[in-house]
Structure 1
């Protein structure tokens, strides 16, 4: 009997050891099942595995493993993983706190519409975190987006930002409304959005965003102002690879649409070419001058005065100089002042000359001021 009892005790011990070694809790079984799915390429399962490691559910907590699985899911386009990964680095409890590492994932999540990420990105811009330059415009913009989705932290941040600078707040608020219109296909809004991002006001300069909006404004709205700005971006390689042929194509299209600024730009290219092409330059400048562009009126007058690309005509040159001068073109005012003061091709008229020189001087032309002093 004692022998039987001993055997039963041994068997019970063995059973206990076996149960201890091989028994799995429901959480452990769930982890194992999900891990198999994640290893087979299931993106949502990969996010869950990241969660399990982050929270210690069915497995020992591991920030490194959580980050690894979140990154796998993020690489396959899961934006929820972007936010979880960003938050992991921002909090710095399971992994080393690293705002710079968090930033790209935070931006992706915010752009995908994650309200928490938008609020956090606004804080990054407001405080200049993660390698970003502090920019109140971007802070307001991202808080506006999060606030529209009901984020109370964003609404509180907006109140503080508005109190600090109400005028600038209104500028960014209008820009935010412009972005909404641009997203709805409004070509004029797309142009304004592109110009804002290209100029870097009221938000951080972003050439990729500028290129996107300006391209939409040109392709869908056929706005020549957009083609002109795009031409400059392709010429300089802003937001894209430099492409001189593309730049000329866009510039030519805007000029053919009788956009004076584009016509002037082509005239300037022809004038500064080596060797200069004065005939083409004069043709483009005079076309832009007819469109009312003061710079083009000045250059048309200058070329008429010099006889470049056209017959010399002082009276006609003076007409164009006056058109430009009446639009407060300081260079034209100075030239008119010299023409009348010195009698260059016309009878001397010091009264008329002084009138134009004084206007040029008031506009900041130092040469006009010096001539008046003499």
Structure 2
């Protein structure tokens, strides 16, 4: 499964590019915001933003987009992000692209999103490079071009962007925009998986299950499926259930197989519900009740108590 557009988040600790002409005033606002005093942050940043300071403009955009210290107003957020973006501020360009992709404060316009992503991506902004790759992969705002998607994924992946690493692994695994190369797919999946990317963890588990790009190892497959499953990733939950059902890489356990299928189904995996109902035919009412309670405890504990 491919990752979709990376959500635009603005970290206050990364807001300042060092270009502000009034660094002391900006930093005063930043310190206030980090302390939760957004009224003072607004008081410090608005005059700077009105004077054309890109850091302050981007910070105001963040406040309006998230409704922090001000009423949430996506259109006003777009206005401030645009002012910073037009000065070449990569972070603002990236977020402005995301807002065009997702119709936040502006009408959805994928071509405009691509334009802003590209401006940020060409400055080396990894999240923009990833999102631009997604646009090329889907053909949103540009002609579909898997090779170009791979190019942008790779640039972001080489900056340790986990989503890009995961998607690059998928492209190598499926021979899309690049020669099929399972070993290379495993390499990129592993880099993303080790950063906690659930999709990559699930796909890496699948590569171990099939012995593609690595020596077949069911126990290692189970390990990666479990890490993704405990993040709520439905495909991994399904695959982990199959391993429990078959006793591959783990002791055979119908109750845990039922538990993970039930959870996967609840998280939207249609095939999981079908398989759960099938295996119930060979379970007693008491066993089904026990497995259902296991599933309930697992989900209610946010995957901390899963049998």
Matching residue of 1:189: 92
Q: 1:254-284 deviations in whole A, cap 9, x for unaligned?
A: 1111111111222111111287321111111
Aligned pair in 2 of structure 1 residues 301, 215: CA closer, same or farther (>3 Å)? same
After TM superposition, give the deviation of residue 181 of structure 1 in Å: 3.3
User: Which of 173, 196, 205 does residue 292 from structure 1 map onto?
Assistant: 196
Please tell me whether residue 334 in structure 1 is matched to residue 258 in structure 2. Answer: no
Matching residue of 1:281: 185
Q: Distance in 1 between matches of 2:143 and 2:215?
A: 42
Matching residue of 2:170: 268
Q: 1:69-95 deviations in whole A, cap 9, x for unaligned?
A: xxxxxxxxxxxxxxxxxxxxxxxxxxx
Structure 1 residue runs without a partner (length 5+): 1-147, 149-167
Aligned pair in 2 of structure 1 residues 371, 239: CA closer, same or farther (>3 Å)? closer
Matching residue of 1:198: 101
Matching residue of 1:10: none
Matching residue of 2:78: 175
User: Which of 222, 226, 238 does residue 128 from structure 2 map onto?
Assistant: 226
Q: Distance in 1 between matches of 2:266 and 2:150?
A: 38
Matching residue of 2:154: 252
> What is the RMSD computed on CA atoms of the aligned residues?
2.8
Matching residue of 1:210: 113
Aligned residues between the structures: 208
Q: Distance in 2 between matches of 1:333 and 1:235?
A: 27
**TM-score, reference length from structure 2:** 0.60
Task: Kindly report which structure 2 residues correspond to 1:1-374, keeping only aligned pairs within 5 A, or say none.
Answer: 170-220=73-123, 222-234=124-136, 239=141, 246-273=148-175, 276-373=180-277, 374=280
Residue pair 2:221, 2:249 contacting (<8 A) in 1 also = no
After TM superposition, give the deviation of residue 224 of structure 1 in Å: 0.8
SS in 2 for 1:205: coil
Matching residue of 1:65: none
Aligned pair in 2 of structure 1 residues 227, 341: CA closer, same or farther (>3 Å)? same
**TM-score, reference length from structure 1:** 0.50
After TM superposition, give the deviation of residue 327 of structure 1 in Å: 1.0
Structure 2 residue runs without a partner (length 5+): 1-49, 51-70, 281-307
Q: 1:268-305 deviations in whole A, cap 9, x for unaligned?
A: 11111287321111111111111211110000001111
After TM superposition, give the deviation of residue 238 of structure 1 in Å: 5.1
Aligned pair in 2 of structure 1 residues 317, 202: CA closer, same or farther (>3 Å)? same
Aligned pair in 2 of structure 1 residues 348, 233: CA closer, same or farther (>3 Å)? closer
Aligned pair in 2 of structure 1 residues 206, 287: CA closer, same or farther (>3 Å)? same
Task: Specify which structure has the bigger relative contact order, considering alpha-carbon pairs within 8 angstroms and separated by 6 or more residues.
Answer: 2
Q: Distance in 1 between matches of 2:254 and 2:142?
A: 54
Q: Distance in 1 between matches of 2:203 and 2:215?
A: 14
Aligned pair in 2 of structure 1 residues 205, 320: CA closer, same or farther (>3 Å)? same
Query: Whose helix proportion is higher, 1 or 2?
Result: 1
Aligned pair in 2 of structure 1 residues 244, 346: CA closer, same or farther (>3 Å)? closer
SS in 2 for 1:310: coil
